[in-house]
Structure 1
Amino acid sequence: MAEHPLAALFRFSSRQVFRWDRHQGRDLLLIEHPLCQAVFSRQGGQLLHFQPRGQRPWLWCAAHWHNLGAIRGGVPICWPWFGRHPNESGWPHHGWARLNDWRLVSKESDRHGVYLVWRLELCDWRVELHARLGAELDLQLVTQHSDSEACQLSHALHAYWAVSDVSRVSLGGLEGARGQDLLLRQPCQQDGELRVAEGCHRVFRQAGALHLQDLAWQRRLRIDTGAGPNCVVWHPGGRPLGDVSWREALGFLSVQVAGCGADSLTLEPGAEARLSLRARLE
């Protein structure tokens, strides 16, 4: 198995739980805790790497990043819209959050792990990422809206889960779920476990616990999408993916929690919206 592209940042041990570094033009927060290693990017408030001690990495990240634009991998935050903007064709895919620098509001460490809060404020919007990392992964995305008028919101935690080979893993928990197949442009209903053969892009109207089974790695991850209205499963298959080679892309399956499409929200002034994504080893 190829080494994780961010592993070299941890070759020199440090007694500091939190320390900043610079890599491929981005400011990164490195976390070394007795229970886990992790990396966040200031750009996007994005968790790029998470690895409990003694285990393989849970998240995939591309080895090479564009000088400008979003970083592919980890858990990008799609906000305040998911996919293309409904009205402005020139605005960035998946919103502004992935492209802006976030502020680290707080960071704490104890014997159970680390707890961080990242914040981004744009106009009358505030969004925070609350992260608890230790033996498990727990992310909460909280949006607050203080405009004088109602506004539309669609959002997602667009996780890239590391796998041995995407063609050899299975995703359970969506049996019978209905949704939309965006590749075939037609409704779909999941029959049995989901396996990716030649690409997948499906938005299911279902949330809850999923099970990512990787027999080659003898690993089964429980991925809990909480009460989020949508679960999105995506992999490009053999289609080109920017600077990511076909072989490199075999190493992930994107399983996301989202509120999008017909399940987008209309936030009234003073309202709040939440998404949660949790994972643990089974």
Structure 2
Amino acid sequence: MSEHPLQRFFKSRRARPTFEWERYQHRDVLLINHPLCQAVFSRQGAQLLHFQPVGQKPWLWCASRWPLVGAIRGGVPVCWPWRGRHPSESGWPAHGWARLLDWKLIDSHEGEHGVSLHWRLQLCDWQADLYAELGQGMELRLNTCHEDSETCQFGHALHAYWRIGDVEDVALQGLDGVQGYDQLNRQACQQQGELRVAGGCQRVFEHNGPVQLDDQAWQRRLGINTGDSVNTIIWHPGSRPLLGVAGDETSGFVCVEAASGGDESLSLAPGERAELSLQAWLV
């Protein structure tokens, strides 16, 4: 399997600062080079596109080619302030505005245990803040403040694409007995045992908390926690082609995402806040 497209930035022998901006495929990207990890964010979407603890294979998948405009497929897209299709505006983008707009980097600093970043997006009467903690593991926290004068419908997701050796050789543990909805077959489902996704999967589970991604090809186990979410969503396109993604690239990821809202949107009153988090660690 080919290497992550953003690993190229870390092959140079020249010393790099901990934080450094570069231009790549018409986007501003922030390179992070710390003794414990390497990572890349795009300014567009405050999207974590690459994360690799020292001595390990990359944890996140990213498409090798990006569109000139539009969303970047891969990493951890921030779906906000709705996920999926907008319930009433058919011309608005799927998964909201956040992954299409440039965010402001409010703060970044390094320490003994890794790096911390704070990104912000202000849009009309909404404010979203994304906090990242990266070191030997990773944690993302998305906070939303609704400042309108009326109650609004809302949804959000951290739509993570996890890098794997081969989709044929991965299984997800921790969902046994959990109820959900199978969007491919359009019916309710209950998971029995481990979940394999090679033939295609799009399931929305009534679950939050830890799951385990067992990667037999890479002999790696990742713990993934969707702790503050209403749903854990598992997705892989199977053999279905994805726009802008080479056919052989789809075998290298599976999506395990934290999500709330969607078909059953959340209601946020004026001044109310919503939180969503995603954590990962090596088991």
Q: Which residue of 1 aligns with 2:70?
A: 69
The separation in 2 between residues aligned to 1:110 and 1:81, in whole angstroms, is 34
1:225-280 alpha-carbon deviations (Å, 9 max, x no partner): 11311000000111110121221100000000000235531001111000000000
The separation in 2 between residues aligned to 1:227 and 1:163, in whole angstroms, is 25
Structure 2 contact 84–262 (Cα < 8 Å) conserved: no
Q: Which amino acid aligns with 2:4?
A: H
Pair 1:4-2:7 in alignment: no
The separation in 2 between residues aligned to 1:6 and 1:70, in whole angstroms, is 17
1:94-125 alpha-carbon deviations (Å, 9 max, x no partner): 00001000000000101110000000000000
- Percent identity, please: 60
SS in 2 for 1:223: strand
**Mapping of 1:198-277 within 5 angstroms?**
198-261=199-262, 263-277=264-278
Q: Which residue of 2 aligns with 1:131?
A: 132
Of stretches 10-19 and 183-192 in structure 1, the one that deviates more from structure 2 is 10-19
Alignment RMSD (CA, Å): 0.9
The separation in 2 between residues aligned to 1:185 and 1:61, in whole angstroms, is 28
**Mapping of 1:29-68 within 5 angstroms?**
29-68=30-69
SS in 2 for 1:114: strand
Q: Which amino acid aligns with 2:241?
A: P
SS in 2 for 1:67: coil
1:203-246 alpha-carbon deviations (Å, 9 max, x no partner): 01111000000111110000011131100000011111012122
1:21-61 alpha-carbon deviations (Å, 9 max, x no partner): 00000000000000000000000000000000000000000
Q: Given the superposition, is the C-alpha separation of residues 16 and 95 from structure 1 closer, same or farther in structure 2, using an over 3 Å criterion? A: same
**Mapping of 1:79-228 within 5 angstroms?**
79-228=80-229
The separation in 2 between residues aligned to 1:131 and 1:9, in whole angstroms, is 21
1:183-212 alpha-carbon deviations (Å, 9 max, x no partner): 111111111100013110000111100000
Structure 2 contact 198–236 (Cα < 8 Å) conserved: no
Q: Which amino acid aligns with 2:270?
A: P
The separation in 1 between residues aligned to 2:263 and 2:54, in whole angstroms, is 40
Structure 2 contact 82–262 (Cα < 8 Å) conserved: no
Q: May I ask how many residue pairs the two structures share in their alignment?
A: 282
For structure 2, which runs of at least 5 residues remain unmatched after alignment?
A: none
The separation in 2 between residues aligned to 1:266 and 1:63, in whole angstroms, is 37
Structure 1 contact 229–263 (Cα < 8 Å) conserved: no
Structure 1 contact 40–49 (Cα < 8 Å) conserved: yes
For structure 1, which runs of at least 5 residues remain unmatched after alignment?
A: none
Deviation at 1:14, TM superposition (A): 2.7
Structure 1 contact 164–216 (Cα < 8 Å) conserved: yes
SS in 1 for 2:40: strand
The separation in 2 between residues aligned to 1:7 and 1:101, in whole angstroms, is 23
Structure 1 residue ranges (4+ consecutive) displaced by more than 3 angstroms after TM superposition: none
The separation in 1 between residues aligned to 2:266 and 2:50, in whole angstroms, is 30
The separation in 1 between residues aligned to 2:108 and 2:58, in whole angstroms, is 22
1:120-159 alpha-carbon deviations (Å, 9 max, x no partner): 0000000011000000000000000111101111110000
